[in-house]
Every structure is written in structure tokens, then in C-alpha cells.
């Protein structure tokens, strides 16, 4: 947790990876000018033909570029999927902005919007509590799926193969209350799907709480989780009841903004 007198560093160190910059330069050129060959891409980017050729071959092996019979380059399936994922997250962030703002104003605690990336959770957006003592939170923060409010909600609605991978993993301990038994975790996930929310108490960070609920898209799939989080010392029984109601209401509001209708028959399990 952070006190308001402590500065939170947000400036990234200035460094770059030249090879990565060159690869992204080529990838952007392929996206803007599909059908060019290595020589033409070299002229367009200012890189040498041999370097462009190596980059194209690497991007092809990763699925980001496809080559036709004449060795002309177009974007591949991996680039398409990455673009669709980025589009989804941008759309989600825009729709979530007023919901996050309102929930933060009502609770005066941190509000987090979190998505699943593979076997990890990713903080997509945050509203920081104005109170002197508060949780540390940062957009882009990567976390586990078996600890914390939003991660466990995301895991509860994840594809079965993702759930099984996590259940059979080491289940790293972050605090003394982090769930370490696969059967216990499976029971928690089942309870989340029944209740429609999860209250996590100090299982990811000491002396903190997180109350989270799932966010559904227009297909009835859970694409994010929304949470209220803060110091455990501020969570009395009344606030617990109020926060559960507020986070579930906010998650429903955001789900409706994304086109979700409660009559959808889907169980909410996301496609991988």
C-alpha cells in the first residue's frame, strides 16, 4: 500500500532495443503497404535488404507475416489476432471509463479493470483512491490467476483448459492466505460462478481486500473483471455489503454497455 506522501514513479526509463524497433518498422510497413517484397520494404524503411529479409522470415515463422509465391509480404494470422485483441481492449477501456469514474467516486477506494492474458491477469485500467493509505496499482501490471479478486473471477470463467493448467501449476504463495490446494481453488471458482462475485481477503497482498465481479460482452463471454480494492482495515461489515452491491451493479452496467443481455444462455466461459 502507498501513502499519499510517497511519489509513485510513472516515468519509464529511456532505452530501446534496436532489433525490435527494426522488426516493428518492417511490420508496420507491411501493414500499410501489403504485397511488397524485401527490396521494396528495404527502400521504404531505410534498412538493408538482407536485414529486412531476415526480419520477414522471423515474422513469417511467428505468424505475423505471410509470403505468397512471389515472396510478397502481407500481414499474417498472428498480426490479425493481435489487432483484434487490441481493438477489443480499446473498446472495453472506452466503455469502462464512466463506470470506473462513478464507482471510484462512490467508494473512495481503488477501482481496477482487469483482463486475462493467457495464464496471467493484466491490469487494463485503474482509478486510484484519494485516501492517504491505499493500495498500489499500475496499468499494465501482470499478476497470477489464482490469487486476488479479479484474477480468480477471470479464472472462474476461463476456458476449461486454462483452469486445468492453473489447477495443476505450483500455485505460488503470495501471503499466508493464498490458496495452495487445487481442490480448494476449484471450490472457490465454483462458488464465484454461483455468487457472481468474489471477495478476496489478503491473498495477493497483505492487509488488503478486493471485491470483484465479471464483465460480459455481447456474446455472453466474460472478457474482464471489475473490482473495488483497498486496505482491509477500512472494510467493515456494512462496507462489505455495500461494495458487493456496487461492484456487481457496475459490472452489469459495463456489460450492458458492451451489448450483453442477461437472457443469453451462455455460461460466460470465454473462448481461449
CATH number at residue 238: 3.30.450.40
Whether residue 155 is contained in a domain is answered as yes
205 and 135 in contact (C-beta within 8 Å)? yes
**What totals of helices (H) and strands (E) does the chain contain, helices first?**
8, 10
Is residue 174 exposed (0-12), middle (13-18) or buried (19+ Cβ within 10 Å)? middle
Whether residue 10 is contained in a domain is answered as no
pLDDT computed for residue 126 by the predictor = 95
Sign of the CA dihedral 182, 183, 185, 189?
positive
Residues 91 and 70 in one domain: no
Q: pLDDT tier at 8 (50, 70, 90 boundaries)?
A: very low
Of 75, 98, 120, the domain-final residue: 75
Residues 66 and 88 in one domain: no
pLDDT (mean) for 172-201 = 96
Residues 58 and 88 in one domain: no
Q: Residue 62: which domain range?
A: 18-75
Q: pLDDT tier at 16 (50, 70, 90 boundaries)?
A: low
Instruction: Assess whether pLDDT exceeds 90 at residue 18.
Output: no
pLDDT single digits (tens) 29-69? 999 999 999 999 999 999 999 999 999 999 999 999 999 88
Residues 203 and 167 in one domain: yes
Of 50, 75, 100, the domain-final residue: 75
Residues 70 and 105 in one domain: no
Helix (H) or strand (E) holding 3: strand 2-3
pLDDT computed for residue 265 by the predictor = 39
Q: pLDDT tier at 93 (50, 70, 90 boundaries)?
A: confident
CATH of the domain at 63: 1.10.10.10
Instruction: Assess whether pLDDT exceeds 80 at residue 233.
Output: yes
Total tally of structural domains belonging to the chain: 2
Torsion over CA of 18, 20, 22 and 28, rounded to 10 degrees? -150
Among residues 251, 260, 122, the alpha carbon closest in space to that of 195 is found at 251
Q: pLDDT tier at 267 (50, 70, 90 boundaries)?
A: very low
Residues 203 and 227 in one domain: yes
Residues 117 and 243 in one domain: yes
How far is Cα 143 from Cα 140, in angstroms, rounded to an integer? 10
Residues 58 and 153 in one domain: no
Residues 229 and 96 in one domain: yes
pLDDT (mean) for 221-227 = 96
Whether residue 271 is contained in a domain is answered as no
Beta strands (DSSP E) in 110-151 are 110-117, 120-127, 133-134, 142-143
Beta-carbon contacts of residue 208 (< 8 Å; ≥ 6 apart): 1, 135, 202, 229, 230, 231, 232
Q: pLDDT tier at 263 (50, 70, 90 boundaries)?
A: low
Q: Provide the percentage of residues in the chain whose pLDDT is more than 90.
A: 75
Sign of the CA dihedral 105, 107, 110, 115?
negative
pLDDT single digits (tens) 108-156? 999 999 999 999 999 999 999 999 988 888 898 999 999 999 999 999 9
Instruction: Assess whether pLDDT exceeds 90 at residue 201.
Output: yes
Instruction: Assess whether pLDDT exceeds 70 at residue 11.
Output: no
Residues 58 and 109 in one domain: no
Q: Share the mean pLDDT of the chain.
A: 89
Based on its alpha-carbon atoms, the radius of gyration of the chain, rounded to whole angstroms, reads 22
131: left (phi over 0), alpha (psi -120 to 50) or beta: beta
Instruction: Assess whether pLDDT exceeds 70 at residue 14.
Output: no
Amino acid at each position: 500500500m502507498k501513502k499519499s506522501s510517497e511519489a509513485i514513479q510513472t516515468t519509464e526509463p529511456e532505452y530501446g532495443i534496436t532489433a525490435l524497433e527494426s522488426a516493428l518498422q518492417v511490420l508496420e510497413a507491411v501493414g500499410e503497404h501489403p504485397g511488397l517484397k524485401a527490396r521494396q520494404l528495404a527502400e521504404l524503411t531505410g534498412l538493408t535488404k538482407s536485414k529486412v529479409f531476415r526480419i520477414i522470415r522471423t515474422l513469417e515463422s511467428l505468424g505475423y507475416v505471410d509470403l505468397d509465391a512471389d515472396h510478397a509480404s502481407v500481414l499474417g494470422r498472428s498480426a490479425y489476432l493481435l489487432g483484434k485483441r487490441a481493438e477489443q481492449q480499446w473498446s472495453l477501456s472506452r466503455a469502462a471509463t464512466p463506470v470506473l469514474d462513478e464507482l471510484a467516486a462512490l467508494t473512495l477506494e481503488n477501482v481496477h479493470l482487469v483482463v486475462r492474458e493467457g495464464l496471467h491477469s493484466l491490469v487494463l485500467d485503474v482509478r486510484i483512491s484519494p485516501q492517504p493509505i491505499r493500495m498500489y496499482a499500475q496499468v499494465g501490471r501482470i499478476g497470477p490467476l489464482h490469487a486476488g479478486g479479479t484474477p480468480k473471477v477471470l479464472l472462474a470463467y476461463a476456458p476449461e483448459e486454462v483452469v486445468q493448467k492453473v489447477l495443476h501449476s505450483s500455485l505460488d504463495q503470495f501471503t499466508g492466505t493464498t490458496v495452495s490446494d487445487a481442490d480448494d481453488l476449484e471450490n472457490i471458482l465454483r462458488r464465484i460462478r454461483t455468487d457472481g462475485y468474489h471477495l478476496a481477503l489478503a491473498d495477493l497482498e497483505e492487509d488488503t481486500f478486493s471485491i470483484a465481479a465479471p464483465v460480459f460482452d455481447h456474446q455472453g463471454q466474460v472478457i474482464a473483471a471489475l473490482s473495488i480494492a483497498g486496505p482491509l482495515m477500512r472494510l467493515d461489515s456494512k462496507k462489505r455489503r455495500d461494495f458487493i452491491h456496487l461492484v456487481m451493479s457496475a459490472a452489469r452496467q459495463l456489460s450492458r454497455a458492451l451489448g450483453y443481455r442477461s437472457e443469453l444462455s451462455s455460461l460466460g466461459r470465454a473462448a481461449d
